[in-house]
Structure 1
Amino acid sequence: MSRETSDASVPAYIDPSKPSIARVYDAFLDGEDNYEVDREVVRRVRKAAPEARDLAVENRAFLIRACRFLARQAGVTQYLDCGSGLPTAENVHQVVQRVAPDARVVYVDNDPLVLAHGRALLEENESAVFVAADIFEPERLLDDDTVKSRLDWSEPIALLQLGTLHHYNGEDTRTRKDIMRAYIEALPSGSYVAISHFLDPEDEYSATARKMEEMFLHSMMGSGTFSTQDELRELFNGLDMVPPGLVRCADWWPDGPHLKALNAAQRSIAGGIARKA
């Protein structure tokens, strides 16, 4: 059961009349840090696909498996998590520091509720920090003093863009590929890029994916684009993909066999990791 926040006790820095991407995501995961306006977005999307909650579930599961791979197999000890969202079970620093206790994590978000909760969570963790910045302005973010000082830019870094880029609406002036190119060019050799994104599966489930997209885009949140696999591959800007490449999140090194057929939502979010030579 969702333990949502009462609208009667809203912090002064929160506008409860406008949905927040982080809070909508929290509502999908049955969290407690969301408001009625966020839950309305969830209800609208579920009209298109009752199982739409699995978009968030599969994205989170992919994050955990991806971070476990990056820490254990790739040996990465530095992470730049863009659009980290509200803290939940198994955050990036918890996953990677379980493997490498000295791993450093810089979380980036511009949602005031995320920043407040995140900084409280990290009070006793000297190797993880939150930065307030717009992840769709890479040059400004990469020039941030904390980002520059907390990460060693001469050593490999894992850049995480998990469930973020489909909320970018500025395609007329700068594309998502342009944004990712700026990040990738700044990364040291040996770095990794992990991306998850809403997917148009281009099959019998495509119509449902586009209905979910319509509900996202025409909600008060106004973002949530579903893209094809070819469009998503472009976001990696030619980097070497780690097997199995760009696939549905549920199919990226799952914890075990799928005992049930994937539903429409599980087929409509993809993820992958690539390495910069």
Structure 2
Amino acid sequence: MKLSIGIPKTMKVAAMVQPWEDPLSGADVGKLMAVADKLGFYKCMLGEHFIIPKEHIELSGDWYFHTAVALGFFGGQTTNLRLSSSISILPLQNPIVQAKAWSTLDWLTGGRAEPIFGVGWLKEEFDMLGVPFSKRGAMADEYIAAMIELWTKDDPEFDGEFVKFKNCGFAPKPIQKPHMPIWFGGDAPAVQRRVAKFGNGWSPFRTPPETFPDCIDYIKSQPEYDGRHIDVFFALEMLNVGAHHEILDDPRAPGTADKQKILDQIGWLKELGITETIVPLPPGLTGEQAWIDRQHWVAEEIMPAI
């Protein structure tokens, strides 16, 4: 089991944010990621939205970064941490521009980029960006195929409904070959089929954990699945977040100082097929030093035991 880490002050979802994060500056958060890097955490992760309608701000907040830009900053503060979006909303940006952003990040950070793409859920955000919400699934399938073409071909060419290019050059390519690992986040069968066709990893959101084994079997049963290794990420904190960021108060979601409980939770996730997770923060942290102390404890007590 690989232990990753959420990046503080990169969103203000009411079900997850803690008050101690509010005073942090960008430099402060960069220093925290440098600590996580030295402690041996596997991957740092942050979410993405571009614009939030007012009726959703109470639960979702309006504080989000552009994932590739923010991860470039955190890549500059670290040496080994993998750099992951969770998630990047695939249909909301031109795929050529997205492909450039991710290959740039991968090249500049020595091959550490690892995007998790999703199709999005907030229709009003699509409307404000002029992207057809009803076509987001078809767009996502075409966009990722076009991005793979750009990342892997010396003479890229694509002729689709939403994307067309030929007689062009595209560099730098990603350092990771044949391209950086591609993850998809979400719960619908269409997402799982997308993982089977294109993906190296799946990040469920509202899928009941007890059904993970069946979902993984479904992914691997698809005709386009070619036997590649599929990683699966799930954080217990997500059990506290509803489909539209409602607060669910799931007792399994908060972090604890009980080492055995954490080990039992991680063991349960492993049995369900999860390969990567985050040890949840306990409620009521009091500041940066408390966060640092918690991550030292995880690195010293939990990492060696798993």
Task: Name the one with the larger helix percent.
Answer: 2
TM range (shorter): 0.3 to 0.5
Q: TM-score, normalised by structure 2?
A: 0.33
Bigger radius of gyration:
2
